[in-house]
Structure 1
Amino acid sequence: MAKIMLVDDAAFMRMMLKKALTESGYTDFVEAQDGAEAVKKYGEENPDLVIMDITMPNMDGLQALKKIRESDPDAKVVMCTAMGQEAMVVEAIKSGAKDFVVKPFNGERIVQTVSSILGK
């Protein structure tokens, strides 16, 4: 089963992502609270997919996306964004994000996105 890294400064959002994915059979998760921790843990854990918030302290999701893609050009990263951040979404896609989901997200949309990217 795929290992999925959940990156969000809000523990509640990580819990909601994990709940939606667990209900669809995903069980292997790594969590990070900000972009800097995500970059570090990506190198240690080598997840199959990263779901990452854009707006976080220390290092935002766009910076972390770029650093992760520098170390692993094949990294699969899905960005989470609040409504109204279209410019950030465009930058994320240009920087190599595979997709994005808008918060508050629909659990089914998260599962469809993850399954599509991982080929399940």
Structure 2
Amino acid sequence: MGNRVLIVDDAAFMRMMIKDIFTKNGYEVVAEAADGKQAVEKYQEVRPDLVTLDITMPEMDGIEALKKIREADVNARIIMCSAMGQQAMVIDAIQAGAKDFIVKPFQADRVIEAVKKALA
């Protein structure tokens, strides 16, 4: 069972919150990125089992990063993170290959449920 995670969010406190949820549930956070461009680079570098990807970020947004990561690895397991009211973007993300999405503020049980589903 894979449990190496790459966390991507432009807000450091969001990365910290989700990292806390992962570590408490036995997942290893192998890298973090603050924008989509870094996400694509880090993915190539660390080859995580799972990526949590924020939708709205500077440089390159989450949807664009999702497409680039999936181009490089069709088996990439990616969960999108979005704030409330971004349903259209979430649909775009699922169509682009995201396994699931979680809504901010994060609820630990929902995060872990999405992770287990994505890694299954």
Q: TM-score band (shorter)?
A: over 0.9
User: Which 10-residue stretch deviates more, 76-85 or 108-117?
Assistant: 108-117
Residues 19, 29 of structure 2: 8 Å contact kept: no
Report what 1:19 is aligned to: 20
Secondary structure in structure 1 of the residue aligned to 2:45: helix
Report what 2:105 is aligned to: 104
**What TM-score do you get using the length of structure 2 for normalisation?**
0.95
Root mean square deviation of aligned Cα = 1.0
Deviation at 1:116, TM superposition (A): 2.2
Q: Which runs of 4+ in 1 moved over 4 A?
A: none
Q: Gaps (5+ residues) in structure 2?
A: none
The 1-side partners of 2:115 and 2:80 are apart by 11
Deviation at 1:112, TM superposition (A): 1.3
Matched, 1:73 2:74: yes
Report what 2:58 is aligned to: 57
Deviation at 1:28, TM superposition (A): 3.6
Q: State the one-letter code of the partner of 2:100.
A: D
Residues 80, 101 of structure 2: 8 Å contact kept: yes
Q: State the one-letter code of the partner of 2:119.
A: L
Report what 1:34 is aligned to: 35
The 2-side partners of 1:89 and 1:48 are apart by 21
The 2-side partners of 1:115 and 1:85 are apart by 23
The 2-side partners of 1:33 and 1:59 are apart by 10
Secondary structure in structure 1 of the residue aligned to 2:37: helix
Deviation at 1:115, TM superposition (A): 1.8
Secondary structure in structure 2 of the residue aligned to 1:52: strand
Aligned residues: 119
The 2-side partners of 1:54 and 1:35 are apart by 9
The 2-side partners of 1:104 and 1:28 are apart by 19
Report what 2:91 is aligned to: 90
**What TM-score do you get using the length of structure 1 for normalisation?**
0.95
Residues 10, 58 of structure 2: 8 Å contact kept: yes
Secondary structure in structure 1 of the residue aligned to 2:31: strand
Q: State the one-letter code of the partner of 1:15.
A: M
